[in-house]
């Protein structure tokens, strides 16, 4: 408004106190929601895209005997799933747990035996269910009833023989820090034409877990970074940089989890966008929106960054903390990079949330001085 001769008096800058007061409440509410979410979810359900939890047991294929032309076997999801590809001229039959014919793969496509108990035993169990009740049609001694399920040459299935189940072996209990083979496994196959036996052999190795102290120390050090840079004259741009680094590593971690499944890209994209990771996607978008205002040290950017940081710290850090204490991690890149992403999400995310809380407390004591500083930084 005008005052005196042609002078324009600027309207007073709105107080940041109400906004940040509401922002602190939002950050606190987000933290409580995240803790409730992590507490109610199973360890394999949070941010792992596929539901595969880290482990200390490494399963690997050793060989196929005798070798068949066009036949390839590999393990997925840390040994929880098997992929068989048969581009050869002879059909191959996968044998189930009771020596029944379970799957058939060959030039005519992929078939499953509706009478095979393994067909039902290998299906994922609903939450809270620990055992499979076989339907009446399942009978290992009955003649196979083949049903064509695909025209392709590959099939994937869950198999109990290729992963470790049960408690720790005696050798692991006595020497937990020693790399050791704990079990071998065999996946029996048959040539459909002549019934000749084919054996896929593998082994399960105990791989000692990493040092969790190193990763917790990294997370603690990164937590202090946002608090330290916020006190400098370049606080806004540096905090925006922390936010960008955190989001970039969390995105890379999520992509690595998705690619490890070897499923089609469109299917993994739907899992991320429509599954439990959809919340992380919203946090990434919110962080991207907050970077500009945060660079200018605007209150809205700080509050949004604090909320996004806390969400990523919970979903991309705390919920994946099992990877910090297990040697085998279901990612397509190195486990070390995955642990770095988790520690970064945990440390920088909590640090950004803490900055919001610290600024809120500082405003209550030094509001005029801080608002004057914000005004000077906003005019630059």
- Predicted local distance difference test score (pLDDT) of residue 255: 84
Confidence of residue 9 (pLDDT cuts 50, 70, 90): very low
Confidence of residue 4 (pLDDT cuts 50, 70, 90): very low
The answer to whether residue 49 scores a pLDDT higher than 50 is no
Q: What is the pLDDT of residues 290-323, one digit of tens each?
A: 999 999 888 788 888 998 999 999 989 998 999 9
- Predicted local distance difference test score (pLDDT) of residue 365: 53
- Predicted local distance difference test score (pLDDT) of residue 7: 45
Burial 95-129 (b: 16+ CB within 10 A, else e): bbeeebbbbbbbeeebbbbebbbbbebbeeeeeee
Q: What is the pLDDT of residues 245-292, one digit of tens each?
A: 999 999 999 888 888 776 665 566 666 555 656 788 888 889 999 999
CA distances from 33 to 36, 301, 342, 357 (A): 5, 21, 20, 17
Contact indicator for 209, 327 with CB cutoff of 8 Å: yes
Q: What is the pLDDT of residues 12-48, one digit of tens each?
A: 344 444 444 444 444 444 444 444 444 544 444 445 4
- Predicted local distance difference test score (pLDDT) of residue 102: 97
- Predicted local distance difference test score (pLDDT) of residue 269: 61
- Predicted local distance difference test score (pLDDT) of residue 198: 96
For residue 66, whether the previous peptide bond is cis, meaning omega lies within 30 degrees of 0, is yes
Q: What is the pLDDT of residues 197-212, one digit of tens each?
A: 999 999 999 999 999 9
Average pLDDT of every residue of the chain: 82
Contacts of 380 (CB under 8 A, 6+ apart): none
- Predicted local distance difference test score (pLDDT) of residue 46: 47
Average pLDDT over residues 96-121: 95
- Predicted local distance difference test score (pLDDT) of residue 362: 55
């Amino acid at each position: 408004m005008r005052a005196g001769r042609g002078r324009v008096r600027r309207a007073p800058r709105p107080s940041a106190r109400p906004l940040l007061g509401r922002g602190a409440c939002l950050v606190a509410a987000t933290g409580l929601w995240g803790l409730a979410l992590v507490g109610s979810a199973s360890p394999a359900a949070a941010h792992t895209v596929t539901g595969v939890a880290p482990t200390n047991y490494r399963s690997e294929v050793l060989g196929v005997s005798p070798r068949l032309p066009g036949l390839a076997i590999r393990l997925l999801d840390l040994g929880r799933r098997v992929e068989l590809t048969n581009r050869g001229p002879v059909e191959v039959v996968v044998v189930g747990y009771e020596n029944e014919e379970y799957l058939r793969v060959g030039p005519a496509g992929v078939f499953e035996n509706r009478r095979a108990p393994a067909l039902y035993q290998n299906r994922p169990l609903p939450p809270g269910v620990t055992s499979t009740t076989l339907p009446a049609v399942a009978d290992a001694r009955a003649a196979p009833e083949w049903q064509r399920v695909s025209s392709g040459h590959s099939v994937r299935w869950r198999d109990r023989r290729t992963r470790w189940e049960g408690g720790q072996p005696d050798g692991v209990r006595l020497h937990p820090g020693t790399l050791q083979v704990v079990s071998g496994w065999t996946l029996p196959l048959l040539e459909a034409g002549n019934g000749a036996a084919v054996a896929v052999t593998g082994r399960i190795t105990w791989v000692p877990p990493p040092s969790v102290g190193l990763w917790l120390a990294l997370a603690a050090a990164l937590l202090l970074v946002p608090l330290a840079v916020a006190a400098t004259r370049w606080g806004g741009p540096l905090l925006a940089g922390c936010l960008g680094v955190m989001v970039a590593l969390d995105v890379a971690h999520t992509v690595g989890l998705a690619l490890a499944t070897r499923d089609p890209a469109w299917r993994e994209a739907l899992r991320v966008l429509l599954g439990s990771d959809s919340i992380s996607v919203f946090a990434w978008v919110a962080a991207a929106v907050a970077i500009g205002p945060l660079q200018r040290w605007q209150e809205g950017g700080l509050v949004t960054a604090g909320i996004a940081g806390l969400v990523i710290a919970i979903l991309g850090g705390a919920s994946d903390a099992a990877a910090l204490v297990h040697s085998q991690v279901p990612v397509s890149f190195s486990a070390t990079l995955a642990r770095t992403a988790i520690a970064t999400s945990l440390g920088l995310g909590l640090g950004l949330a803490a900055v919001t809380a610290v600024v809120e407390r500082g405003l209550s004591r030094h509001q005029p001085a801080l608002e004057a500083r914000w005004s000077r930084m906003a005019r630059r």
